[in-house]
A and B are shown apart, each in its own frame.
Chain A
């Protein structure tokens, strides 16, 4: 059985604990990087990560982009939506089509 994880600052991710997702309150880049590789090796199929936390470890996230699992999804943090998650979508379109045809 696979599990789902949430990574981010305490205030943004606490709510997910009630839903039964595994919550990790980390905000340091090195720790998040380690955590992601650990989770990827340990049957976590989905990792939700807050946008500010993802911005710290974008290299690690890009590394898992082309592997089948885990699926790393950016979610807005408590400070608000930075649009980083939507940008990833635009990047995918640009890669596939050759230019960004959304908008």
Chain B
């Protein structure tokens, strides 16, 4: 703990006392912020993990179908079947403020009203596995969008938690002890000065009295 480099005056003392009060208050607030962020973060992480497992499983399944479709059909036919999509996904992005972390919220909009209207090809020249792949992907799409949202939120909140934790630690372990020590130092110094003044006054009084006694 290092004492701050200040003059031991009453002015500095009252300044430091004010600083200490606000540091203590700030410390308490930041600690609350950190705890609440952490609570929400843990919920999000749980959801994130769940979603990721589900999405990964569904995409792997779609990929399996796709691999089969790719082996049954010619590459070019497969590509051309998917070339002109009927559907188009658009996202509306809103912001949500969680403990002053701005996290995005996505709302999906489809071009065609029927969300099952996804097969951009006739059934005649394509393998049934392609249908399986497309339908598997289509059913997991809402979860994928939610995953994008949650994953971003987790990253942003992790950053904010790290920052807040550092601030809390800096206040708790450096600033507040420093202030307290400096305040103690100034208080001691001031009372020491006071004592020294008192003693010199007593001394002077003694001397003056002695002087006066001579004449009596």
Contact = CB atoms under 8 A, between A and B. Distances in A.
Contact of B38 (A12, A65, A81, A97): A97
A93 interface: yes
Interface string B138-169: 10010011011101101111110110010000
Contacts of B63: 12, 15, 76-78
Contacts of A31: none
A78 B158 CA distance: 30
Q: Give the most central of A15, A20, A48, A68: most B CB within 10 Å.
A: A15
Category for how many chain A residues contact B: 35 or more
Contacts, number: 146
Contacts of A98: 165
Interface of A: 1-4, 10-12, 14-21, 45-46, 48, 65-66, 68-69, 71, 73, 75-78, 80-81, 85-86, 88-89, 92-93, 95-98, 102
A21 B79 contact: no
Which 8 pairs across A and B sit closest by C-beta, in order of nearness?
A: A20-B87, A71-B152, A20-B88, A96-B158, A96-B161, A92-B158, A2-B91, A46-B148
